[in-house]
């Protein structure tokens, strides 16, 4: 899987937007960096924000269940940043157990982990 359900852009593009937002960037600057319409980027960010706590819990559990020596993500300034941290942490935990997963980006792996539904309103 390389794309999220009902999204035209690749998972890596959306993932980059999520990471930049977690770092404090705004939708306009993210859209400019990615060369995407502001409304599209804003839609991704809003959808993720609405699901952030569910995403954080799901991927923190995945991190703890799969990691060889799991380290839960550090506290983050926002629920959005905490969710992104948990997503990347789960990827790192999976890589610690199955190194070949490291051959793909965190966002491709996360797309597979979520069945492509990371931004879906009914997931997890």
Q: How confident is the model over 69-91, as pLDDT tens digits?
A: 877 777 888 999 999 999 999 99
Q: What's the pLDDT score for residue 75?
A: 81
Domain range summary for the chain, segments of one domain joined by +: 11-113
Question: Position of tokens 């593009």?
Answer: 13
Q: Is 69 exposed, middle or buried (0-12, 13-18, 19+ CB in 10 A)?
A: exposed
For the whole prediction, is pTM greater than 0.75? yes
Q: Binning pLDDT at 50, 70 and 90, where does residue 121 land?
A: confident
Of 30 and 67, which is predicted with more confidence?
Answer: 30
CA 39 to chain centre: 19
């Amino acid at each position: 899987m390389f794309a999220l359900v009902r999204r035209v852009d690749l998972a890596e593009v959306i993932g980059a937007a999520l990471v930049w937002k977690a770092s404090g960037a705004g939708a306009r600057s993210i859209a400019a960096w990615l060369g995407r319409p502001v409304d599209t980027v804003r839609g991704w960010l809003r959808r993720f924000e609405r699901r952030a706590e569910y995403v954080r819990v799901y991927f923190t559990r995945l991190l703890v269940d799969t990691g060889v020596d799991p380290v839960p993500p550090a506290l983050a300034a926002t629920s959005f940043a905490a969710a992104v941290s948990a997503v990347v942490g789960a990827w790192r935990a999976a890589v610690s157990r199955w190194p070949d997963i490291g051959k793909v980006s965190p966002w491709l792996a996360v797309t597979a982990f979520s069945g492509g539904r990371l931004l879906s309103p009914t997931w997890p």
